[in-house]
Structure 1
Amino acid sequence: MTVYPAIDLRGGRCVRLLQGAFERETVYGDDPVAVARGFEAVGARWLHVVDLDGARAGHPVQHELVARICAAVHIPVQLGGGLRDRAAIEAAFATGASRVVVGTTAAHDPDRCGELCAAHPGRVVVGLD
Structure 2
Amino acid sequence: MPILPTAPEVPTVKGPDAWFTGDVWFDVVAAPPAPSRLRVNAVHFSPGAHTFWHRHAHGQTLHVTEGVARVGTRDGAVVELRPGQTHWTPPGEWHWHGAAPTTFMTHLAMWEAGGDSDRPDTEWADEVTDEQYGA
TM-score greater than 0.5 by the shorter chain? no
TM-score, length basis structure 2: 0.27
TM-score, length basis structure 1: 0.28
Q: Which has the higher contact order (CA 8 A, sep 6+)?
A: 2
The structure having more radius of gyration, on CA atoms, is 2
Q: Which has the higher helix share?
A: 1
